[in-house]
A and B are shown apart, each in its own frame.
Chain A
Amino acid sequence: MFIDIIIWIIQIILVPAVAPLCVGIIRKIKAKLQNRQGAGIFQPYQDLWKLFHKDEVISKDASWIFRCAPYIVFTVTIIIGASIPLFASFINNTVTGDLLIIIYTLAIGTFFLALAGIDTGSAFGGFGSSREMTVAALAEGGFIFSLLTVALISGSTNVFTISQTGLLYQSQYLLSGTLAFFGFFIVLLAETARFPFDNPATHLELTMIHEAMILEYSGKKLALMEWASANKLLIFIALASNLFFPLGIAQSAGISAVMLGMVIFMIKIVIFCLVIAVLESSIAKFRFFRLPDLLIIAFIFNVVAIILIH
């Protein structure tokens, strides 16, 4: 019981604490691959610190939606970060650990982010919102179904139970699991605004999606938005690593198991960051109307995966 409480507290803090590091690592690896020195991996923390200490300018056209959205978007990522398995799967979360709760609570963030994009009346923001909602709507099918595949294998839609049951230990589901993972990975790239869906490094480009919506933000609110998007990246990495590769996650209460779980979780994060960075350095951004093909592929992968489950 005592260890449960400690783990919950760590869960709440861990995602916002580690998320900027993720972004830093990806940027560093990308810089190395481009033959640049690049900023240090702790640079995103310094960026957030800087933004939190800046004054703000808010558009006179903006309403309370624009002012509240950063808090809502950030809160969503904190709650989801605490509701999914990070390094321990033995704890029981039957209240917010359902996969549909996770998907639809994340959708609250998307909803307010898109509304905030429209709110200032800038053409950039409006088109960013339009694109974001298009991608999010089409990613929904793949997102739900990839988690459904592992849920059907584990016999529960609770993410902790899925992680505890362990996909890897059942060899007859290997093919389903692999297909579902590829489907999920495509959704990960779409939802976290990475290549080939969006360019996270751009700030003024007509095709941008995420950056277009937060263009009007400054100061603390921008910091919250940036931080929330880093959190979201970490949440997706955690889902990918702990639902599809639950190896090494702490399955029972014990200091050593938990410590090991944490170390392995960090290693998994670094591996995923490496994969994303390599992917971003090696492929170009897709034309917007080719993205649906990719997202439908993610969905079809998962339909096949579900059919293969007996």
Chain B
Amino acid sequence: MEQFVFTHNVKIALVILYSFIFLLLAIVKIAQWTTKKDLDNIWIRIKSFLLICVFFTAAFCFNKIVAFLFLMLISYLCLKEFLSLIPTRKTDRKVLLWAYWSIPVSYYIVYIHWATLFYLFIPLYMFILISVRMVMSSNTEGFLKNLAVIQYGLMTTVYALGYLGMTAIIPMQYNPKGGAIGLLFYILILTVSNDFIQMFCGKALGKHKIIPKVSPNKTWEGFIGGVIGTTILSVVMAYFLTPFTLLQSIFAGAVLAVFGFFGDVTMSAIKRDMGVKDTSSLIPGHGGILDRLDSLLFTAPLFFHYFAYINTIVFTRG
């Protein structure tokens, strides 16, 4: 069975990541003892984050099939959260089932390295299929709206997240330092730390709100802090895990920070539109899985195409 290559650099990066998380946990525990403040919320958040990291690492340590089943599960949970969030019509039940079935199909296409079909499957073929199935239920009331909402759900939760799978199948020769795992690690950690740095800077320095109507906690200070912090982290990580030059890694970090922010506020806007705070209560301290992955919805595809632009990747099936 085909397995992922963990290069020396990736192994060291993983050790640093886990040491960092345990260090954070220790700091929180000590702070809780000394200051007697209630830090349970932060404690639960870090613990959940640790659990997510363990799941991710374990899935990719095993083999390619397990990793892809894991990614499918994530897409499934996200799509389910999205569809539970929005009002759906009773006549669309079969349409929704078709939407769910696009997940295994989409990931299978990635699994067999058929990149061009993956690029088209959700945006074109599912676009057609969902319309066909919805017409067959012959309910025209709210037709366009529901069609658009389901397509949007597929684009974000299946197509955008599918780019994690696409990143995972990038051949070793394009990134000898870190391999596909190095790139996945790079993008996941940058996206997550961007959220964290933005929140941290926003809480510490934040005064000027960017879009108070969508997300009252987002400030210019947090945003700029996020961009600077993420870019620095990107340069450091890119040196060990990617083939990027200094300029390329600065650009990658800035793009991930900016579009991570937009992914985040886009999901906030959707949640506000639907009148909920969290998409679900799946991850203790974080809300739903969609709340946690919202930044990744924009960064994953952008990063993949940026990497493909720099390296002109050729997949076996084209």
Decide whether A and B assemble into one complex.
no
Q: B residues near A, CB below 8 A? A: none
